[in-house]
Amino acid sequence: MDLSLIVDFLFKGLEISGPIAFAALGAVFCERSGVINIALEGFMAVTAFTIVWGSIAFQSIWMGLLVAIITGVIMSLIHAVATITFRVDQIVSGVAINIMAIGIGRFLSQNIFNQETQSQLNPYLFPTVFGINSFAFALIPITAICWFVLFKTRFGLRLRAVGENPEAADTLGINVYLMRYSGVILSGVMCGLAAAVLYPAKWINGMTGGRGFIALAAMIFGRWHPVGAVLAALLFGYADTFRIMFETKIPIPSQFVQMLPYVLAILVLVGMMGKAKPPAADGIPYEPGE
């Protein structure tokens, strides 16, 4: 086989896996603290727009990234306030945000770029290294940082405690609300990072294409572990890259490759019950004193 093609595949796969991986990392933090988040898709839909907007407005991709992160945080705050402070059902809140997000990008694009379905081109980008968006390389150190934070720091220990047994954490003086807010906000931050590697050159309506849901599948497949989730995301991303690059050469219809992440996640759930368990208090709103 052509060596340069393989190398190309390796790097391209990293770039394509990037958004899923970052979003999956965010999902891990969120669910580990006990909050289900099906609105990653919606978060990313908005941050994908704001990174373009911010870059153009401030003439710098780094500023764009900052704007994207801030936007991710704002979106996540909606989910956090609704589900943590008001104890609204976490699925419904996620659904509401996903619906909202459909309109936000289009609305802003209409007003800022006078075009509803796409933005203008953003020339301020991360440098291209080995043919891909160099921000993709940030995935590796960031994954390591996430793993460290979750398992080796006081914050991570408390976050995980709150997701498993919030009553216990509360009696030990840990602020359950604060921990859960942190978890949700981190998922917003990570969706900002995901936008940086998705396609910061231009916003197109619908560009997230379900990646938020694939990220959930990656989180499950990775058994709610940051490294596992990223490996799963890489698996899905590389499978998709393989499909894109070698579509005409393989007999499998592309849609089955599209299905792969979800089928794998289901198989994980079926095959490894008991070990593949979400955090015990995942999805249950916390009511103090009851």
Partner 1 sequence: MLKLRFDKYRLMELLAPVLGFLAALVVLLIIAMIVGETPGNAVRAIIKFTVSSASRLASVFSVAIPLFISGLAVAIAFRAGVFNIGVEGQYFIGGLVGALAGIYLPLPKFIHLPVVVLAAMAGGALWAAIPAILKITKGIHEVISTIMFNNIALALVNYLVNGPLSGRGEQSLEPQTRKILSTALFGKLNHWFQAIGLNVPNHVYLDYSLIVAIIMGILAFILLFRLRFGFEIRAVGTSIDVSRYSGIRVKTVQLGVFLISGAVAGLIGMQEIFAIRGHYTFEIASGLGFDGIAIALIGRNSPIGVIFSAILFAFLKQAGYGLQLYTSVPNSIIYIITGLMITFIVIINEIVTRYIRALRKKEAA
Partner 2 sequence: MSDTLLAMEEITKVFPGVRANDGVSFDLLTGEIHALVGENGAGKTTLMKILYGLQKPDSGTIYLRGQATVIRNPRDAIAQGIGMVHQHFMLVPPFSVLENIVLGEETHAAGVLRMETPAEKVEEIMRSNGLPVDLSVSVAELPVGLQQRVEILKILYRGAEILVFDEPTAVLTPQEVDELFKTFRMMKEQGKGIVFISHKLDEVLAIADRITVIRRGKVIETLQHSEATKAKIAELMVGKPVLLEVKKEAVETGSAILEVRNLRQTGERGNAVLKGVNLTISAGEIYGIAGVEGNGQSELVQAITEPVKLDEGEIQLQGSSILNWDVRARRDAGIGHIPEDRQRFGLLLPFSLADNLTLGRHHRPPFVKGSQWIDSAKIRETARKTIQAFDIRTPSETTPANALSGGNQQKAIVAREMSFEPILLVASQPTRGVDIGAQEFIYSQLLEARQNGKAVLLVSADLDEILSLSDRIGVMFKGGIIKEFDRTEATREKIGLYMTGGEQDA
Residues binding partner 1 (CB under 8 A): 36, 38, 78, 82, 86-89, 91-93, 95-104, 106-107, 110-111, 116, 210, 213-214, 216-217, 220, 253, 255-256, 258-259, 261-263, 265-266, 269-270, 273, 278, 283
If one asks whether residue 116 binds partner 2 (CB under 8 A), the answer comes out as no
Q: Which is nearer to partner 2, 6 or 280 (CB)?
A: 280
The correct pick among 111, 141, 154, 270 for binding partner 2 (CB under 8 A) is 154
Report phi then psi at 85, rounded to 5: -75, -40
The H-or-E segment that residue 129 falls in is: strand 128-129
The correct pick among 174, 178, 227, 269 for binding partner 2 (CB under 8 A) is 174
If one asks whether residue 160 binds partner 2 (CB under 8 A), the answer comes out as yes
The H-or-E segment that residue 132 falls in is: strand 132-133
Output the CA–CA distances (angstroms, integers) from residue 179 to 72, 94, 146, 152, in the order listed. 18, 19, 15, 16
The least distance separating partner 2 from the CB of residue 171, rounded to whole angstroms, comes to: 5
Residue 252: exposed, middle, or buried by beta-carbon count in 10 A (0-12, 13-18, 19+)?
A: exposed
The H-or-E segment that residue 242 falls in is: helix 226-246
Q: Please choose, from the candidates 252, 248, 243, the residue with its C-alpha nearest in 3D space to the C-alpha of residue 16.
A: 243
C-alpha 254 chain-centroid distance: 23
Interaction mask 226-265, partner 2, x per CB under 8 A: ----------------------------------------
Contact residues for partner 2, defined by CB under 8 A: 152-155, 157-158, 160-161, 164-165, 167-174, 280, 289
